[in-house]
Amino acid sequence: MPFQTEPPFHHGQAERTAVLLCNLGTPDEPTAPAVRRYLADFLGDQRVVEIPKLAWWPILHGIILRTRPAKSAAKYASIWTPEGSPLAVWTAKQATLLRGWLGQAGHSVLVRHAMRYGSPSIASQLDALKAEGATRILILPLYPQYSGTTTASVFDAVYSWAARTRSVPELRFVNRYHDHPGYIDALARTIETHWKHHGQPDQLVMSFHGVPERTLHLGDPYHCESLKTGRLLAERLGLRKDHYQITFQSRFGKAKWLTPYTQPTVEALGKAGTRRVDVVCPGFTSDCLETLEEINMEVREAFLHHGGQEFHYIPCLNDSTHWITALSQVAQQHLAGWPTSVPDAAALADARAKALAGGAPAGVCPVAH
């Protein structure tokens, strides 16, 4: 594999530390062609669909990518904003705010965001960070719970980029923060704020994104980490066990996924005479198709259709102050030991002078002369 062309190395240049926030991704626009490109990338990842390519490719390209894009595009259109995809908008805002929060804490670091599928790509943002002088990069996925289908796939993309890069920066990876006190507190405060204005429900449903059940038996910790997040959140809110449920949404295909499933659970609550249900999605840090369309439209309609009277969707963390504070805390924990300040001009000039003391031209190692 050929290496990418890189600018020449210059002695004495300022070394920078960077953070790359990584989210799942989104189509560039709510159209069938854009959704087809996105789904081809997403469903073509063997971390997401663990079926041999010889068996999966004909299904993906012969059936799914022919029939699903138009339906999905209509769903995306129903939640699209003037600024674009909600997930893209919130992720970009989180990166901007995180840079400010870290700056206030005394850390002068570069912060960018990337999407595992779609734009901006992880590779393009790593290239951009290198061009800005980053020699140390913290990879921070916006998935609080670790899963091979999400977190590990982000790492795959970083490793793939590194395999084509001659001068690889120091890299660190955040695997999980499902039980981080700041994250749990941010979730609790979001829910408490909603309840302050709208009162409390008869049942709180915590809906996490689903994955095939077989991943649990194969060693993926996602199920356990989701349950722990739910338990810690319930304890923080002071809820009794009969006042909340933890469920899993977004099933795909015919295989058994993690249970209980969100929509059937909510339908059963409606049939049982539960008057009001609130649903929150702790595993999603930004509102997106799965929260705004699947939960706030489809699941809402199902609950009301099956006898429920009042349904409340509680928004994701998005750009809340408590969430960015928690994100900053997670980042700072993993940045520990790395220099996060920029040397002043005098120090930089002195470093350059020492590097070139042997008379070597800029960009050439003076040790070799």
Count CB atoms within 10 A of the CB of residue 258.
22
**Residue 106 and residue 339 in contact, taking contact as beta carbons nearer than 8 Å:** no
**Residue 260 and residue 268 in contact, taking contact as beta carbons nearer than 8 Å:** no
In the annotated binding site, the residues are 209, 290
pLDDT score at 369: 41
**Residue 106 and residue 249 in contact, taking contact as beta carbons nearer than 8 Å:** no
pLDDT score at 368: 44
pLDDT score at 58: 96
What are the tens digits of pLDDT across the range 87-126? 999 999 999 999 999 999 999 999 999 999 999 999 999 9
What are the tens digits of pLDDT across the range 227-258? 999 999 999 999 999 999 999 999 988 889 99
The answer as to CATH 3.40.50.1400 being correct for domain 181-314 is yes
- Taking residues 337-349, report their average pLDDT: 67
Q: CA-CA distance, 165 to 203, in Å (whole number)?
A: 51
**Residue 366 and residue 358 in contact, taking contact as beta carbons nearer than 8 Å:** yes
Please give the biggest Cα pair distance in the chain: 84
The amino acid that residue 123 corresponds to is A
* Confidence band of 70 (pLDDT split at 50, 70, 90): very high
Q: CA-CA distance, 39 to 28, in Å (whole number)?
A: 12
pLDDT score at 353: 58
CATH 3.40.50.1400 residue ranges for the chain: 16-177+324-335, 181-314
pLDDT score at 363: 47
**Residue 310 and residue 275 in contact, taking contact as beta carbons nearer than 8 Å:** yes
Question: What's the CA dihedral at 192, 197, 201, 207 to 10 degrees?
Answer: -50
Question: What's the CA dihedral at 359, 362, 366, 369 to 10 degrees?
Answer: -60
φ, ψ for residue 200, nearest 5 deg: -95, 155
**Residue 305 and residue 270 in contact, taking contact as beta carbons nearer than 8 Å:** yes
Count CB atoms within 10 A of the CB of residue 142.
23
What are the tens digits of pLDDT across the range 253-279? 888 999 999 999 999 999 999 999 999
What are the tens digits of pLDDT across the range 3-33? 777 766 666 677 899 999 999 999 999 999 9
pLDDT score at 357: 59
Residue 356 has pLDDT above 70, yes or no: no
pLDDT score at 15: 86
Q: CA-CA distance, 286 to 109, in Å (whole number)?
A: 23
210 torsion bin: left (phi>0), alpha (psi -120 to 50), beta (else)? beta
Residue-wise DSSP of 137-165: EEEEES-SS--TTTHHHHHHHHHHHHHT-
**Residue 22 and residue 139 in contact, taking contact as beta carbons nearer than 8 Å:** yes
**Rg over CA atoms, the chain:** 23
The three-state secondary structure class of 176 is: coil
Structure tokens at 87: 């997930």
Q: What mean pLDDT is reported for the chain?
A: 93
What are the tens digits of pLDDT across the range 163-211? 999 999 999 999 999 999 999 999 999 999 999 999 999 999 999 999 9
- Taking residues 126-142, report their average pLDDT: 97
Residue 350 has pLDDT above 80, yes or no: no
- Taking residues 339-351, report their average pLDDT: 60
Count CB atoms within 10 A of the CB of residue 323.
24
What are the tens digits of pLDDT across the range 153-166? 999 999 999 999 99
The three-state secondary structure class of 261 is: strand
Q: CA-CA distance, 72 to 36, in Å (whole number)?
A: 9
In the annotated binding site for Fe(2+), the residues are 209, 290
CATH, range 16-177+324-335: 3.40.50.1400
**Residue 245 and residue 231 in contact, taking contact as beta carbons nearer than 8 Å:** no
